Chains A and B, each alone.
Chain A
Amino acid sequence: MKTTFTLNWKIAGQAGEGVMVISKMMAKICKRHGLQAFNYLEYPSLIKGGHQTGQVFASSKQASCQKKDLDILVTFNKNGFKEHQDEITSKTLIIYNSDAGPLDKKEYSHLTKNIVEIPFRSLTKEKTGSFNAANIAVLGASAYFLGFNLKIVRKIIRDEFAGKGEKIIKDDLLAFKAGFAFAKKLGQPLKQTPQVEDDQILLTGNEAVGLAAIAAGVQFYSAYPMTPATALLHYLASQQENYPLIVKHSEDEIGAINHALGASFAGVRAMTGSSGGGFALMAESVSFASMAEIPLVILEAQRKGPATGLPTWTEQADLSFVLTAGHGDLQRVVFTPGTVAEHFELTIKAFYLAEKYQIPVFILSDKFILESHQTMTQPELKHNHPRQNMIKSAPKDSSFRRYKATKTGVSPRSIPGQKYGLQLTNSYEHDEFGFGTEEITPTIAQVDKRTRKMDSIAKEIAQPYLVGPKEAETTFVCWGSTINVVSQLIHQQSLSKKKTVNAIHLPTMWPFPKKEFTRLAKLAKKLVMVEGNQSGQGERLISQETEVVFTDRIHRYDGRPFYAEDLQSWLEKNSK
C-alpha cells in the first residue's frame, strides 16, 4: 500500500449498551483486513449508566493510540455530541441512535452537517424480537460506511459469540444485516477499507502480559481483583484448562503475594499483580522476596491515584513507589514496557531474570495500555525457557548451601522434594545454609552477595532506544505507555516530511541504564520529558542517576492519556 489508509471510529453510550464489545470487534475487523489497530476504552467506575466510549484508530502504517479527528461517531444518546465536540470535524459522520429521542440537527450544524439517524434499538427488536443485539446493528451500519469486507465481519461475529448458542449468532447476523441495509439507504460509504494479509494478533496490554507469562512457563498466578490489573486475573484464569497453571483469587493482596512466594519457593514460576493500592499492601513481601531470594514477577498496573483516585483512569504516578517499595536495601528490576508487543517481550524477560537472579521483577504499566487493544505481529508459538540456577541434585553429605556467597552473587537453589537439598528460605538475615544470624561477618557477606547480582542484571535489562529520525529539533523522553502516543506523532510528522521530533523510550527504569541513556541524551538538541504524572517522577530518577538536564517537560495528570494532537500543538507553540 503506497498511500496510507486510516480510519477513525468512535462509539459513545451508557454502560450496559455493549459499547466495549463492539469497539473491540471493530478493532478485530480492522486487524483482519491487515491493518494496524488501536482500541481505546473510557468508562466510569460503575456497572450501569454513565458515559462510556470505545474508539478504534486503524492504519495501514502506524496505529498506536487513539486519535481526535473522527471519521465516524456513533452515539447512543445526545450526550455524545457534547462530550466529544472537539473530536468532531466538518467531515465527521455522526450516526445518532434515534431511539434516544428526536434530534434537532440544526443544534449541531456548527459541528458537522453529516448526521444520520438510525433507530438501532427498535430496528433490532423488529428483526430479532429483542434489543440485545442493538450494538451489532451498529456494526452493520459502520461496516457499510467504512466499506468493510462483509465476510470478515460475519466471521468476527461468529467468533465473538461462539459458544453462546446458534440462536444468538443468528440474531446477531440479522441485526447486522438490518443495520447495514438501513445505512445503505442513508448515503454513500465514506471509505473502502483495503485488505491485505493479516499476520497480527490483537490484544490488550494485560492479555500480552498473560500470554507472555504462559510462554515463559508461568504455573501460578495469585491476585485480588483491582482495576486495571483485573483482566490479567481473568485471562490467566481462563487458561487453566489449557496449561498446567493454577490461578488463585486470594483473600487479599498480602495473601496474593505470599501465595505466589510460597509457590515459587516450591519450584513453580509464579506471578502476582495489582494496581497501586493493592500493591501498597504487598510492599513488605517485596522486601522479603529480595531478602530470601525468591523469584517473583509482579504486574503493577497504575491507575489514577492517590488512594482510590479515579479507579478506571490512567496515570504514571507509581514509579517512585515501585522503585522504593519495601524496607531495607533490596534488589529489584523495574520494566516499563511501551507497546503491547513490548509487554509481551519484557514479561518473558521478567520471568527469565526473576528465576535466574532470584529477585522480584516488576512490569510497571498503566490503565491506558493495559486495557487498550493493540495489534502486534504474531509471536512465535513455540517457547523454550529452561530452568535457571536450580540444582539438579544435591551432594549426599548435606553440604548444600542455599545462600552460598558466589562470585556473581547468585546461589544455586534447591526446591522441596529434592533429596539432600534441605535449606531454610529465610526472611531473617542468614548464613549460607539459611539459618538465622546476627553476626557481623555473615551479615555483610550476604548483603554484599545479594548486591553483587545487580552487576550481572544490569547487563541483561532492556536498554533505552531512539524512536524516529536520528536528528530532530526536539527529543521527547518517555517511559511506559507514553511512547505509543509519541510514536504516532513521529509517524505523522514523517508523513508531512517534518523532522522536528524524535524520542528516547525507556523500557527499563531500574537498574537505571545510565550509560546508554546518557549517550542517547547527548545526541539530542532539546530534551523534553513527557510523563503521565504531576510531579515528574521519571525526570527525578534521571536527575538522580545521570547528569542529563531537560529543557522542558509535559505532564498530564487528569486521568486521560496523552494525545498525539496535543503534543503536536505543544511543539508548534514551543518551537522558536
Chain B
Amino acid sequence: MSCITNKSIKSPITPTWCPGCGDFMILNALQKALVELELEEANTVIFYGIGCSGNMADFNRAYGFHGLHGRALPSAIGAKLANHKLKIIIIAGDGDFYGEGLNHFISLARGNHDVTAIIHNNSRYSLTTGQSSPTTKKGTKTKSTPTGLVEKPFNPIASALVAEASFVARGYSTKFLELIQLIKAGVSHPGFSLVDVIQLCPTFNKKENHPFFAERIYDLAAEKHDASNKMAAITKAQETEKVPLGIFYQDKESMPYHAHLSQLEKKSLVDQWSAKTNIKKAIRKFR
C-alpha cells in the first residue's frame, strides 16, 4: 500500500489565501502530520466546510469531499459508518462548525464518531468578508455588527467537553511544530477529536494578531495539566485572559461509535456489499 508523501499530497493548485493567513500553516501542519503518520493515501479522506478554510480542498491531492457550509460533519460521519477503515479528517471554520453546524457538532461529540475535526478558528466569517462569528469577542465591531457585537462568545473547548467529546485540544497556527503533534494525536485517537486551532486572519481580524497571542498563550503540558482529568480540563477551558494550548482532555478508554455496532464486527459496511440479496427474512412479517 502506498502512503501519503510530501510530494503526493501536494495538489497542482497554488493556495489563494492572503499573505500571512494562518491557513497556510494549518495546511502545512496537516500535510506533515499525514506524512508522519504514514497514512495510506487511498484510505484517507478529508471533508471540508465552506469558508477560506474549506478552500484547502483544492490544495490537497487526496480523497476529498467539499460539502456544504456547516454540513461536512454529518457527511463525514456517514462516510465513516460506511467504511470505518477510512481515516477521516474535517477541515472547517469556526463559522461553519460552531455556527451553521452546531447541532451536528454536539451530536458528533456525543456519538464519539472516530473523526478528527481541525477547526480554523479566526473569530470571523472571513470568506464572506469578515462578519462576526460565534467565537468573536463581545463588543467587537464588524460589518455585520457596526455598533459592537452583543453576544458573548461561544466556548468551543468547554462545549466539546460537556458534550462528551473524548479528545479536545487547542492549537495555534503560528505554533507549527506543536500543531503537527496535536493533529497527529487527534488523528490517532480512537473516537472524536477536536483540534480547535487559533488561526490568524490578518485581513479581517487585525487586532488579534501574533503579538496579541504571544502575550497570552501558554502550554498546558508545561503547566503539568492532567489531560485525563475532565474537571481540570473544564476549568482550563474557562480561562479567557490567558490562552492555554495543547491537549485539554483525552479519554484513554474512548470507544468510538462504530465499535458499538455488531454489523461492523467483522467487516466494514462497504466490504459487506453484495450484488445479490435474498429478502426472505425481510419479507417474513408480511406473509
CB < 8 Å: which of A203, A216, A251, A417 contacts B104?
A: A251
- A207 and B282 CA atoms in complex are apart in Å by 10
Question: Is there contact, CB below 8 Å, between B83 and A382?
Answer: no
Would you list which residues of chain A between 254 and 279 have a CB under 8 Å from chain B? 254-256, 258-268, 270
Q: A384 at the A/B interface (Cβ < 8 Å)?
A: yes
Given A268-B82, A378-B283, A416-B45, also A385-B68 (CB < 8 A):
no
- A65 and B273 CA atoms in complex are apart in Å by 38
Question: Is there contact, CB below 8 Å, between A266 and B286?
Answer: no
Q: A70 at the A/B interface (Cβ < 8 Å)?
A: no
Question: Is there contact, CB below 8 Å, between B75 and A261?
Answer: yes
Q: B278 at the A/B interface (Cβ < 8 Å)?
A: yes
CB < 8 Å: which of B86, B264, B272, B278 contacts A266?
A: B86
The chain B residue sitting closest to A260, CB to CB, is B78
The chain B residue sitting closest to A375, CB to CB, is B286
Q: A415 at the A/B interface (Cβ < 8 Å)?
A: yes
Question: Is there contact, CB below 8 Å, between B283 and A416?
Answer: no
CB < 8 Å: which of A220, A239, A261, A381 contacts B81?
A: A220
Q: B279 at the A/B interface (Cβ < 8 Å)?
A: yes
CB < 8 Å: which of A219, A239, A246 contacts B282?
A: A239
Q: A58 at the A/B interface (Cβ < 8 Å)?
A: no
- A423 and B1 CA atoms in complex are apart in Å by 18
Would you list which residues of chain A between 162 and 215 have a CB under 8 Å from chain B? 201-203, 207, 210-211, 214-215
Q: A288 at the A/B interface (Cβ < 8 Å)?
A: yes
Question: Is there contact, CB below 8 Å, between B279 and A259?
Answer: no
With a CB–CB cut-off of 8 A, which chain A residues contact B41?
Answer: 419, 422
- Binary interface encoding of chain B residues 252-287 relative to chain A, with 1 for a CB under 8 A from any of its CBs, else 0: 000000000101100001101111111111110011
Given A251-B103, A263-B81, A417-B43, also A211-B263 (CB < 8 A):
no
With a CB–CB cut-off of 8 A, which chain A residues contact B85?
Answer: 417
- A261 and B72 CA atoms in complex are apart in Å by 10
Given A219-B269, A251-B104, A261-B78, also A288-B65 (CB < 8 A):
no
Which of the candidate stretches B54-62, B182-190, B214-222, B232-240 sits at the interface with the other chain? B54-62
Given A219-B272, A417-B86, A426-B57, also A203-B78 (CB < 8 A):
no
With a CB–CB cut-off of 8 A, which chain A residues contact B86?
Answer: 266, 416-417
Question: Is there contact, CB below 8 Å, between B75 and A385?
Answer: no
How big is chain A's contact interface, by range?
35 or more
CB < 8 Å: which of B55, B63, B65, B279 contacts A262?
A: B65
The chain A residue sitting closest to B279, CB to CB, is A215
- A242 and B2 CA atoms in complex are apart in Å by 36
Given A220-B269, A383-B276, A416-B79, also A254-B74 (CB < 8 A):
yes
The chain B residue sitting closest to A394, CB to CB, is B42
Given A265-B75, A268-B270, A422-B41, also A258-B282 (CB < 8 A):
no
- A547 and B50 CA atoms in complex are apart in Å by 44
Q: A425 at the A/B interface (Cβ < 8 Å)?
A: yes
- A239 and B283 CA atoms in complex are apart in Å by 10
Given A201-B286, A211-B286, A416-B45, also A387-B275 (CB < 8 A):
yes
Q: B66 at the A/B interface (Cβ < 8 Å)?
A: yes
Given A219-B82, A262-B75, also A246-B263 (CB < 8 A):
yes
Q: A386 at the A/B interface (Cβ < 8 Å)?
A: yes
- A246 and B257 CA atoms in complex are apart in Å by 12
- A219 and B57 CA atoms in complex are apart in Å by 28
> Top 10 A-B pairs ranked by shortest CB distance?
A262-B78, A262-B75, A244-B272, A258-B74, A266-B82, A251-B107, A263-B78, A259-B78, A201-B286, A266-B79
Mark A residues whose CB is within 8 Å of B.
201-203, 207, 210-211, 214-217, 219-220, 222, 239-240, 242-246, 248, 250-252, 254-256, 258-268, 270, 284-285, 288, 292, 378-379, 381-387, 415-428, 434-436
